[in-house]
Structure 1
Amino acid sequence: MVSLQFRICFIPSHLKLQLPVPRRSLDLKLPPRALSSAIKAATVNGHPGEDAGFLRGTAVPAGLRRESMPRHVAVIMDGNRRWARMRGLPVGSGYEAGVRALRRMVELCCKWGIRVLTVFAFSSDNWFRPKVEVDVLMALFDRGLREELQYLVSADVRISIIGDSTKLFNSLQALLANAMETTSKNSKLHLIVAVNYSGRSDVVQACQKLAVKVKDGVIEPEDINELVVERELGTNCTDFPHPDLLIRTSGELRVSNFLLWQLAHTELYFTNSLWPDFGEDEFLLALSSFQERQRRYGC
């Protein structure tokens, strides 16, 4: 019988803990018929669904299981300022390095078949930072989006913005709207950028919208359930609103008001690496950790 041979390597999840966990590997022989069955299982009403295409069309690094890759990864991109200060550079240089790290992340997600990447770019609390720093960030958003838009189009990446964009400069609002419209038909990766975002505010605005609908007689109070609430949240723009994996860089161990509703069953991964230093090796460690876990929803 012809068979396909895979080598699955289990790598220690958090090397920074320096635990003496040995590497171990396991050779599995998977007949083509088994792979066909896996693809067939990822169908909707007998037709190939999102996961079927995911199984067929992606190439992942050795040691990772293609069928166990997260569909949605969220990232709190922390440590840009610290990275710059450690090198005696202006804070703006740290943010510019962070943009390059984001580009690497987008490329890897496209390469490995991750469907959605949501990044925390600017919190509503960031307005309290020094004005000069906020101005640098806003200018960087503007320049970065202008420079990267052609890449997003050519790479088949769709971009969406969540958060209260009304507080941004009018020119930046127009630029963001144009980017979303220009990439709206792209489908390889959905990049969701949280700008002037607050997880609590997201839930509050959803409640306000539902209250108006109840007041207008569109729905009854008893019609409100989790699915109804989710349709009013910022992440209603994607087919996969709940991240499978959240990564936070810079060693901080908190979610900082990011996707509070959506993270209910998300696996969390924290790393000491500062965001500008986060690259392929660190991403592989995060994905390896994710695949080693037994996910338990609700307990």
Structure 2
Amino acid sequence: MIYSKNSSINVKNKNNYKLAKKLKSIGKRVVLDFYKFLEKSKILKIYEKILEESIDKDNLPKHIAIIMDGNRRTAEIYGKDRYYGHYLGAEKVREVLKWARELGIKVVTLYAFSTENFNRPKEEVNKLMELFEKKFYEIANDKEIHKYKVRVRAIGRIHLLPENVQRAIKYAEDKTKNYNNFFVNIAIAYGGQQEIIDAVKNIAWKVKIGEINPEDIDKELIDKHLYTADLEYPNPDLIIRTSGEERISNFLIWQSSYSELYFCDIYWPLFRRIDFLRAIREYQRRQRRFGR
């Protein structure tokens, strides 16, 4: 057997990495258990009530967009596969939409699946597509959706999705197309840069055939050629990202020019009403300048 000092170091590094990963997982479980303890106690409910009373109902964001990050890491905490995390994330959507609607928010846009997400392992993507199909049909037949007149729309390169998912999306959109009390937009197969590219191509074609003069191209014209052109309040007032990452990841990059950004450490499936209220409280503390 040939002894290699470097190989010995590599083994130690691997062992240290495994140990660190295990300790990190244990630490997350401790935090998770602590959250559960708080939720069962009255402490969190009292704090939630105080937070809600601090919210100015006359200064709410009309449109909140959410980057739902942390599904896979939540699954890791529970020792489950990635699909379990995505399932928990999908279930959380129902709760958050209820909080938003009850508070008086008019529009919520959810970043569900980016164009880059197609590069994930095939099995994970296939499972996600199955989940999307199921959830769009559930939305379309949800009594709460119809009771509160919620309109559901999908934005993105929908043609890239499997046909069964496209059918489910169309079904949900058709079933809710006449509602206007509350708007839910699902960004799926969506990429902000690609959205702008598609808009530019569309405008360039119209210039070529003489439908548009180059001198007429301005911000308003580009707005009309984005995926969000037909949406109520297309520009988000507030963007929330969960999981502790501090970037917008190619999400609504044109529409978010003057959006307020709020980042929180908690993973999306573990997102609580107090986290939602904190985001709105922070939004109300800021002075929006709109470039002035």
Which bracket does the TM-score occupy, shorter chain normalised? Answer: 0.7 to 0.9
Alpha-carbon shift at residue 237 of structure 1 (Å):
2.2
Deviations 1:13-33 (A, max 9, x none): xxxxxxxxxxxxxxxxxxxxx
Within the alignment, does 1:205 sit opposite 2:192 as a pair? no
Deviations 1:27-84 (A, max 9, x none): xxxxxxxxxxxxxxxxxxxxxxxxxxxxxxxxx9311111210000000000000000
Whole-angstrom distance in 2 between the partners of 1:137 and 1:228: 35
Alpha-carbon shift at residue 236 of structure 1 (Å):
1.1
Alpha-carbon shift at residue 147 of structure 1 (Å):
2.1
Q: How does 1:11-160 map to 2 (within 5 A)?
A: 61-151=52-142, 152-160=145-153
Gaps of 5+ in 2: 1-50
Count residues in correspondence. 240
Alpha-carbon shift at residue 220 of structure 1 (Å):
0.7
Within the alignment, does 1:190 sit opposite 2:183 as a pair? yes
Rg: which structure is higher?
Answer: 2
Question: Secondary structure at the residue paired with 1:264?
Answer: coil
Gaps of 5+ in 1: 1-59
Given residue 204 of structure 1, which amino acid in structure 2 is its aligned partner? I
Would you identify which runs of 4 or more consecutive aligned residues in structure 1 move more than 3 Å? none
Question: Secondary structure at the residue paired with 2:154?
Answer: strand
Whole-angstrom distance in 1 between the partners of 2:64 and 2:78: 29
Q: What TM-score does the superposition give when structure 2 sets the normalisation length?
A: 0.80
Given residue 179 of structure 1, which amino acid in structure 2 is its aligned partner? A
What's the % identity of the aligned pairs?
A: 38
Q: Indicate the structure with greater helix content.
A: 2
CA RMSD, 1 decimal: 1.2
Whole-angstrom distance in 2 between the partners of 1:285 and 1:142: 32
Within the alignment, does 1:228 sit opposite 2:217 as a pair? no
Alpha-carbon shift at residue 239 of structure 1 (Å):
2.5
Whole-angstrom distance in 1 between the partners of 2:262 and 2:146: 30
Whether the 8 Å contact between 1:157 and 1:191 is mirrored in structure 2 is yes
Whether the 8 Å contact between 2:109 and 2:184 is mirrored in structure 1 is yes
Q: Indicate the structure with greater strand content.
A: 1
Within the alignment, does 1:278 sit opposite 2:271 as a pair? yes
Whether the 8 Å contact between 1:110 and 1:188 is mirrored in structure 2 is no
Whole-angstrom distance in 1 between the partners of 2:230 and 2:74: 33
Whether the 8 Å contact between 1:76 and 1:249 is mirrored in structure 2 is yes
Whole-angstrom distance in 1 between the partners of 2:77 and 2:55: 34
Greater CA drift, 280-289 or 216-225: 216-225
